[in-house]
Amino acid sequence: MRFFHLSDLHIGKHLHYYNLAKDQEMILSQIVERAEEYRPDAIIIAGDIYDKTVPSGEAYQLFDAFLNQLSELSPVIPVMIIAGNHDSADRLQYASAFLEKHQIYVSVMPPLAQEEYLKKITLKDEYGEVDFYLFPFMKPGYVRHLFEDENISDYETAFRLMLEREALDATRRQVLVAHQFFVNAGQAPETCDSEQLSIVVGGLDAIDISVVKDFDYVALGHIHGAQKLGDGKVRYCGTPLKYSVSEEKHRKSISLVTLGEKGTDLQVEEIPLEPMREVRRIKGQLSEVMGAATQENRHDYVSITLTDDKETFHQKELLEEVYDHILEVIVDNARTRNILEQMSGEEKLQTPLEAFREFYQMMQQQTLSAEEEEIMQQVMEKIDYEAN
């Protein structure tokens, strides 16, 4: 049994203030091309289809076009989709009954009633049947009412109890699709800036991989860097695109999983994906950074750190002459390091006007005029009045 493992498409996402629609359209088309080339027996998408619970019309159209392209492949490749923490259950479930007629299976919520169980899709190959269990993103509060005699205070307990009620048959080949934060004996996976806000402080959302030890493969979403936990049966496939500067070194890919006969080792091949633009950091003096621009890299999404001790007026405007997708410009010199050192000392709570005054000084290399300060004072007072 060969299948694609994908997750965290985050359709509709912006990188800083850049709309990634064209980038995502290109990468989704690549996935369709690879599906046509490799002909997997199934395609798994392990959550976070959209970046927001209320996706834009453009995001809907992108995902709709992607599913249409996949459904047009012949023979038909079954597609299994679960909801992630970024997805709206109601919106992702729309037209799911119709989609099943085209072998596109969607699961958006864990079982919420005693008679309900995880959605299970069974496929067959030369070694027999493989059961795919679809377990969408879950918080303990979603399922606590199903276990009145249990004290469910964390994600691991809730997840374990939900699997136990499935009465899984360990003699069969079984694949679990989930979107949660898994750890291996307390060791957390490597995370990026782009998913930090989705991880619960204190580790209450952590689930140890021992809970899923009986599965032949666990296809995970939620973490943006591709990596395995334990012996490799539990895997995060990562995002198909780089969604933060912290992902600069990632090599994005499709995980092609080959599941053989029960009890044999599985194989995982990483099929590279080529983005429309790279995401990268550049550091150096202004002249060095501008000189490093080439016809091949000038369209990349770049985070620029300037190290000139003497700051040039209109630095960003000069940089924009050679780089057309600048994410941020950071100044790292003696002056800014001195400011950071002062800030690391005794903290002083600034008023909004004081904070703006300091920001203006840093950006414009001059102080606010008396007239400008009066205007800003009026703006701050208006904001404070409307807030109260």
> How far are the Cα atoms of 14, 24, 245, 277, 287 from residue 323, in angstroms, in the given order?
18, 21, 16, 12, 13
The mean predicted confidence, pLDDT, of the chain is: 90
pLDDT per position as a tens digit, 35-69? 999 999 999 999 999 999 999 999 999 999 999 99
What are 286's two structure tokens?
Answer: 């202004």
pLDDT reported for residue 388: 47
What are 222's two structure tokens?
Answer: 């939620």
- CATH homologous superfamily of 2-272 equals Metallo-dependent phosphatases (3.60.21.10)
pLDDT per position as a tens digit, 183-195? 999 898 888 876 6
Nearest alpha-carbon partner for 237 in 306, 184, 189: 189
Cα 79–Cα 6–Cα 228 angle in degrees, nearest 5: 135
pLDDT per position as a tens digit, 337-360? 777 666 665 555 677 888 888 777
Q: What is the mean pLDDT of residues 319-345?
A: 82
E strand or H helix at 164, and its extent?
helix 155-164
Going along the chain, which residue ranges are E strands?
Answer: 2-6, 14-15, 18-19, 42-46, 79-82, 104-107, 119-125, 128-135, 173-179, 181-183, 206-208, 217-221, 227-229, 234-236, 253-258, 267-272, 279-284, 301-306, 326-331
Please tell me the pTM assigned to this model.
Answer: 0.84
Report the SS3 class of residue 375.
helix
Cite the residue boundaries of each domain of the chain with CATH code 3.60.21.10. 2-272
Residues 29 and 69: beta-carbon distance below 8 Å:
yes
pLDDT per position as a tens digit, 139-168? 999 999 999 989 898 999 999 999 999 989
